[in-house]
Amino acid sequence: MEKAVKANEKFESDPPAEKQKRKATQGFKRRKRRGPPPLPKEDIKIILKPHKGLLVKNILGLELSRAVIDACQRSFNGNDFLLRVHPESNIVILSTPSMEVASRLRGISQLKIRGQIHAFIAYVADPEGVLRGIVHGIPAGTSQDELMENLRVRTQGVNIERARMLGSSKTAIITFTGNVLPRSVYIMGAELICYPCKPTVQVCKICLQTGHRTDVCPTPNVNVCLKCGAREPMQGHNCIPKCVICDGEHRTGDILCKKKLKNVAPPKKLRTDQPKDSVSQPEYTGDAKSSEKLSPLRMNMPRWFSSDRMEQRQSRSRSRSRSRSQSRSRSRSRSRRDRHHTYTTYRQQYLH
């Protein structure tokens, strides 16, 4: 309490200029730096993966673009493609709208950077709106052309768009076009189970750093304990399992890890507000006049899509129509009863 009082007295004794400066900085919040704009959606994306030990973020983008143009025999220039470095994944992304340029970029196997030759692996990234499946049990090192030549699928309406191996593993990722993921695929007649591709957090099995895979590790010579994550561990050290993804007491990437899967962003909500110049549709109130004015789209709208206000109006309209029908029914029965009583009285008075 005394500290707070002293702090207030100190602030009150400050000159007016300092007070204004402090007020201006109190409501200031540091904005999170925005990332780069998305690459053109219609472009073809080529991914370049470097060999182990090469950190692409330490290379200038201009050096990479010049090396790419030289590797393609200067058949195009910088106006035909875009180059972006992804530092976390340690890869290079090339975007181009030209099929010819994409074919030449796909053929890159090495780049000459600062006088040294560096090996790269180039492949075409999957487009948007496709299905991805995982297949295990394929020999490591199988080329993309060999996969596409021998892979088959029997599910109707589903085609194999592309396939590639995942690093140096025995697992391939297959991209399908269609509405359903096939249960199995066939490679040279052999049936393989196809599992859904669930994006997971990338963890390197060499340095235990997240964001990149083992085949593009920039520090392949580092000594790390894969169980506890200790750097330069001594023999017989106290090794307690620790996950670098969730800090849990288990090995990194274990099936028990609750943060192993990536958080996929939900789809953007559709805008419900109408533009000012649009003609507003009349709401349905339950009577025949409003149903004639209402568009067929709104008439065919399911009940779960209706608003609460519309539901209340419909319920009130149904209750009013029900009460009117009940009153009409009561009036009809009352009139029939009155007519029967009148006829009985007439028979008693005049016919007997």
Q: pLDDT tens, 129-150?
A: 788 899 999 999 899 899 999 9
Q: What are phi and psi of 348, to 5 degrees?
A: -70, -35
CB atoms within 10 A of CB 252: 23
Q: How far apart are CA 349 and CA 143, in angstroms?
A: 111
- Give pLDDT tens digits for 56-113: 888 998 999 999 999 999 999 999 999 999 888 889 999 999 999 999 999 999 999 9
Determine the pLDDT at residue 221. 82
The full set of domain ranges for the chain reads: 44-124, 131-196
- Please state the rounded mean pLDDT for residues 39-64: 89
What percentage of the chain has pLDDT greater than the value 90? 30
Q: How far apart are CA 122 and CA 144, in angstroms?
A: 11
Question: Which pLDDT band holds residue 267 (cuts at 50, 70, 90)?
Answer: very low
Determine the pLDDT at residue 316. 60
Q: Which residues contact 185 (CB under 8 A, 6 or more apart)?
A: 133, 135, 151, 152, 153, 160, 174, 191, 192, 194
For residues 180 and 157, the answer to whether their CB atoms sit within 8 Å is yes
The H or E element that residue 99 is part of is helix 99-106
Q: How far apart are CA 36 and CA 152, in angstroms?
A: 39
Structure tokens at 83: 């180059």
CATH class of residue range 44-124: alpha beta
- Name the residue among 111, 173, 117 with its Cα closest to residue 144: 173
**Residue 278 pLDDT exceeds 80:** no
Spell out the SS3 assignment of 114-133: CCEEEEEEEEECCCCCCEEE
Torsion angle of alpha carbons 303, 305, 311, 317, nearest 10°?
Answer: -60
Q: How far apart are CA 210 and CA 223, in angstroms?
A: 16
**Residue 37 pLDDT exceeds 60:** yes
**Sign for the pseudo-dihedral over CA of 237, 241, 242, 244:** positive
